[in-house]
Amino acid sequence: MDVYRGETQTDFKPLRYSAEGYLGIEEYGLIGDGAGAALVGRDGAIAWLCAPRFDSQPLFCSLLDARRGGAFVIAPEHLTESRHYYLPDTGVLVTEMRGPQGVMRVTDALTFRTGANLNEGVRAARGELLRSVEVLEGEVPLRVALIPRGQVEAEPHGDGLKLHCSGLDLRFTATLPLQGLHSRYRLVQGERAHFVLRWAPGSYRYDPISHDEVMQGTVASWRRWIEGFEYEGPRAALVRRSAITLKLLDHFENGAIIAAPTSSLPEALGGVRNWDYRYTWVRDAAFSVYALRGVGLSVEAQAFLAWVLDDVENPGRPRVLYDLDGGVPPAEWEDGDLEGYRRSAPVRWGNAAVEQRQHDVFGEILDCAYQWANRGGRITPHLWSYLHEHVERARVEWREPDHGIWEVRTAGHPFTYSAALCHVALDRGARVAERLGLPGDVAGWRTDAEAIRQAILNEAWRAERNTLTEHLGGGWLDASLLTLPLRRVVPFDHPRMVATVEAVQQRLGAGDGLLYRYIPEESPDGLPGHEGAFLLCSFWLLDNFTGQGRLDEAMALYDSLCDRANELGLLPEQIDPASGAFLGNFPQAFSHVGLIASGRNLAQAMQGLPT
């Protein structure tokens, strides 16, 4: 039964804060406009907003410091309980809040231009946050506080305020008289108001489009876009919501999909495993494209492939992640001015993994090229010259140590997953060259791809443990081994793969279908402490059940994982196995990719179709 209710009015619930003054990560909803994103709490506070882009400095980040991070709050005085939900088939979020004397509603959107086509591959964003308020019952003493992070210069201008902060010039306007950055009002049932924070240029006094028209147009653009969604399978409403979430993480202008809209939400409370995920990883592309295509979103799939292949046509070794423009993200640094979510320091900006060697990038790029070519995309001689070079690099580097899919901060190892993706590079390179008549050592690439497959089956195998292991030549277990059948390296039903699936369940299981990526004591990664269970790994386990024909087990696990979404249908990177609380950056694109892809695989298997 589909129990997702993120577009319906659930019961009001009291607000619960941690001892440090933070809401749980699961208490937030995501809004976005294809350029940036914000997180809205069930307490009426926008606790995270990066503008004008996903990777800009945050205007508000009380998510990372409840006292100094800044927020944009619209809430009744003495708020007691609330609920939130999305307007159906949109990225527009509604929060209803109850105080002692009445109930109010705030509808939040990062708005689109009138008539915006979200498949067009151009900017749709108006460059503004619109917060529409309505009193539903009784009388509400309303509190409005606009508190950006850091130094703020504010002065009256037109009918509102002109602000300068975080390197941006902003306009703050309202349909009620503003009393400064902090305002209080008393509204009664039926009264409405609009508050707009704008970073796009324009007049402070006049906008030819009313606030209601802007909101209605934004809703209409979302609903036109979702008409392309196609899925008939388990948990259809939640899969549909996951597709919208991925669109909220999509940079419309160039097709890049960010890993998550946040930075430094901890993988364990109080720990140091806190990273900036507001960038695009090449490895996300092949998985994401498969998921997007599977639910009819071919425009997004092709745009992401094009973004990857554009980056390939740059000199030098390919990087594992890029900023939205395909450039190098800023150097990683620690921000000592912010205490971190629930005092989990450090807060980091930038990501040092951009400088790592990760051989799997060769396979990810060639798999993208293979999918591109299969959909009629042109492989020019110039592009093929770079792709050919990456195939040849995979051919010679697959045994060399690297930092692996999990980006360990120790000396490198010859990771099994990295070798497997070098196999993918050779296999897909041979397929593309043969199909399109491009120059290359097709026979030799196939021979070398098979040699890598045999090395994985033999050198990574440990008979005494009855499993494949994380390194060629030894090591312990790593949940990325579950992807070997998904990348067509080892069949689902190969005896050594079946045994490995069993070993991963036994050794990396965190209970109730959750899995750890690896155990740090057994597989040192250069960092102290532990982390939560990594959701995507559980979807990989599910896919192995499906591929092995264990459909009842697969369906039970799918239901269990889907039930872990918050009431808005959003998933984090990780889960605390003890409490079920969300951990890591949120919402996580990879988790939603897993939910979509696994649902599609299950649906096909249940119909007797190949996955």
Q: What is the pLDDT of residue 608?
A: 86
Average of per-residue pLDDT across 44-50: 98
Average of per-residue pLDDT across 252-273: 96
Q: What is the pLDDT of residue 5?
A: 57
Q: What is the pLDDT of residue 337?
A: 96
> 3 pLDDT exceeds 60?
no
> 170 pLDDT exceeds 90?
yes
Spatial separation of the C-alpha atoms in residues 497 and 421, rounded to whole Å: 16
Q: How confident is the model at residue 205 (pLDDT cuts 50, 70, 90)?
A: low
More reliable by pLDDT, 204 or 479: 479
Q: How confident is the model at residue 158 (pLDDT cuts 50, 70, 90)?
A: confident
Burial class, 511, CB count within 10 angstroms (exposed 0-12 / middle 13-18 / buried 19+): exposed
Backbone phi and psi for residue 467, each to the nearest 5 degrees, phi listed first: -160, 155
> 509 pLDDT exceeds 60?
yes
Percent of the chain with pLDDT over 90: 89
Average of per-residue pLDDT across 175-180: 95
Segment among 458-462, 470-474, 587-591 with least mean pLDDT: 470-474
Task: Please give the structure tokens belonging to residue 480.
Answer: 């990325």
Report the SS3 class of residue 441.
Answer: coil
Segment among 50-59, 162-171, 331-340, 563-572 with least mean pLDDT: 162-171
Q: How confident is the model at residue 287 (pLDDT cuts 50, 70, 90)?
A: confident
Q: What is the pLDDT of residue 6?
A: 63
Pick from 199, 162, 166, 200: nearest CA to 181: 162
Q: What is the pLDDT of residue 14?
A: 96
Q: What is the pLDDT of residue 27?
A: 98
C-alpha distances (whole Å) from 98 to each of 92, 288, 588 are 20, 39, 30
> 2 pLDDT exceeds 50?
no
Taking all residues of the chain, what is their mean pLDDT, rounded to a whole number?
A: 94
Per-residue pLDDT tens for 56-65?
Answer: 999 999 999 9
Q: How confident is the model at residue 1 (pLDDT cuts 50, 70, 90)?
A: very low
Average of per-residue pLDDT across 75-79: 96
Q: How confident is the model at residue 202 (pLDDT cuts 50, 70, 90)?
A: confident
Average of per-residue pLDDT across 311-330: 89
Q: What is the pLDDT of residue 63?
A: 98
Pick from 322, 234, 260, 231: nearest CA to 536: 260
Average of per-residue pLDDT across 363-384: 93
